[in-house]
Amino acid sequence: DKGTYPHYMLKEIDDQPTVMRKLAQTYFNDDGQVTIDDELLADLQSADRLYIVAAGTSYHAGLVGERLFERLAAVPTEAHVSSEFAYNSPILSKHPFFIFLSQSGETADSREVLTEVNAKGYHSLTITNVQNSTLSREATYTMLLNAGPEIAVASTKAYTAQIAVEAIIAKALGEATQQVAAADFDLRPQLGLVANGIQALVDQKERFEAVAKDNFVDQRDAFYIGRGIDYAVSLEASLKLKEITYIHSEGVAAGELKHGPIALIESGTPVIGIITQERTASLTRSNLAETAARGSHIMTIVTKSLAKAHDDIILEDVDEMLTPLLTIIPAQLISYYTSLLKGLDVDKPRNLAKSVTVQ
């Protein structure tokens, strides 16, 4: 039920602070310790490599997960697009463990991979929003997103919930294997900060509506750029825009611009830089400036501690590994308002289905 909301997508964007708080309750005990299933944890510990398999937005959440597992749990991790993995799989490690990310739990491309994983006797975890969905039933373990029904075709709260659950598992695994990075990662209070940070953004809706009106509605192309985890979010931000506004959009690794995509920049083309990582902030800023010199209209989404006077959208500071939970919110809202201003069907964009049950 969308209640008083004009569209499911807007309601689902607004649900995100609540979902973050709910996950902090579900997966932490009263002492503030992260808790996941013991057998799952043991299985994860015996794996020498994690394979995250997913499609669309869930794949983009997997790209963030890849970094979380490597940094917090020091376990090699690869995120793969399920339709590719199914027919062009990489050479597997000796003890692989599979993580399927799927909001619906019904994506046929992912199921194709899981069937093969089961046939080979490997163990797996499905992270999904739908209890008893096909991918949940067929995997060894299930963890729920607890995000409530997601109805809009464009996925929003499932993306942030998937990243939060990946962080929860990475922390549990890293603690079990005595990783300092995991012990130092104060996830539970961080999820509270994230919830507040998202709330601060969704409370500024008029601002994002104005950005959509002034900088996006009349554009043919738009680019999101970033490095590392910010690049992973750029891909998702760009998918959100193209899905519901039909504006051609690409997420580009900031350093790759000059190897090709910068040729597409014309006068007024929006280029949005996502900047949350101290190590690479100045490099991404230089890449933005290079597009501005070709006439682009640049905008920045930046965390407070890295912000400069001319930055546009400034986010509350959270742990550098959790910034995707905040940086995606402006992109979701800008896409929503651009679609609305163009008079399009926000919740049911053309040519797309909520759950893709054919390969």
Residues with catalytic function? 354
Pick out residues in 104-123 that bind ligand M6R (CB under 6 A). Answer: 104, 107, 110
Find tokens 């499905």 and name the residue: 126
Cβ within 8 Å of residue 263, ≥6 positions away: none
Q: Is the CB of 181 or the CB of 356 nearer to ligand M6R?
A: 356
Query: Whole-angstrom Cα distance, residue 277 to residue 280?
Result: 6
What is the three-state SS of 281-319? Answer: HHHHHHHHHHHHCCCCEEEEEEEHHHCCCCCCEEECCCC
Pick out residues in 272-291 that bind ligand M6R (CB under 6 A). Answer: none
Query: Whole-angstrom Cα distance, residue 154 to residue 56?
Result: 10
Pick out residues in 215-244 that bind ligand M6R (CB under 6 A). Answer: 243
Q: Is the CB of 110 or the CB of 339 nearer to ligand M6R?
A: 110
Q: Where are the alpha helices (DSSP H) in 74-216?
A: 82-87, 108-119, 134-138, 157-176, 180-184, 187-202, 205-211
Minimum distance, C-beta of residue 355 to ligand M6R, in the bound complex (Å): 5
Q: Which two tokens stand for residue 344?
A: 């399009």
Minimum distance, C-beta of residue 43 to ligand M6R, in the bound complex (Å): 22
DSSP state, residue 222: E
From candidates 83, 126, 134, 155, binder to ligand M6R by CB under 6 A: 155
CA distances from 18 to 11, 167, 217, 339, 347 (A): 12, 17, 30, 25, 21
- Residue 62 binds to ligand M6R (criterion: CB under 6 A): no
With H, G, I as helix, E, B as strand and everything else as coil, classify residue 46. coil
Minimum distance, C-beta of residue 229 to ligand M6R, in the bound complex (Å): 19
Minimum distance, C-beta of residue 56 to ligand M6R, in the bound complex (Å): 2
Q: Which stretch binds ligand M6R (CB under 6 A): 22-30, 43-51, 152-160, 223-231?
A: 152-160
User: How many residues make contact with ligand M6R (CB under 6 A)?
Assistant: 16
From candidates 56, 65, 197, 324, binder to ligand M6R by CB under 6 A: 56
Q: Is the CB of 8 or the CB of 185 nearer to ligand M6R?
A: 8
Q: Is the CB of 136 or the CB of 269 nearer to ligand M6R?
A: 136
- Residue 154 binds to ligand M6R (criterion: CB under 6 A): yes
Q: Which stretch binds ligand M6R (CB under 6 A): 19-27, 30-38, 149-157, 279-287?
A: 149-157
Q: Is the CB of 107 or the CB of 142 nearer to ligand M6R?
A: 107
Cβ within 8 Å of residue 221, ≥6 positions away: 247, 248, 249, 250, 264, 266, 269
For residue 342, count CB atoms less than 10 angstroms from its CB and return exposed for 0-12, middle for 13-18, buried for 19 or more: middle
Instruction: Assess contact for 35 and 28: CB atoms under 8 A.
Output: yes
Question: Where does this chain bind ligand M6R (CB under 6 A)?
Answer: 55-58, 102-104, 107, 110, 153-155, 243, 352, 355-356
